[in-house]
Amino acid sequence: NAGIIVTYPPLEVVSTNPARDATNVDYATPTITATFNREIDPATISPKNFRVLFGTSDSLTGSVSVSGRTATFTIGGDGLSFS
């Protein structure tokens, strides 16, 4: 019995807001969005696997939601909380 194997293209970020490596971003901005090359299954994304880094190692705390190809990270707490 041969099965059908469906291979999807690897998930890639095609754009972000604010832009990657943006400077002088207002820390009070409550959301960060990432648009991917294909739709995302909401059950497969969480704050544990969708991290927003501040600098090179500190990740911001918050929640993530998905709509189609876009994931929206909402910064939690005072806007600059680290995990």
pLDDT (0 to 100) of residue 35: 96
Q: Which has the higher per-residue pLDDT, 83 or 43? A: 43
pLDDT at 37 over 90: yes
Sorting pLDDT into bands at 50, 70 and 90, what band is 82? very low
C-alpha separations of 9 from 4, 32, 36, 41 in Å: 16, 24, 11, 14
pLDDT (average), residues 52-62? 77
d(CA 66, CA 40) in angstroms, rounded, equals: 7
Span 33-51, average pLDDT: 88
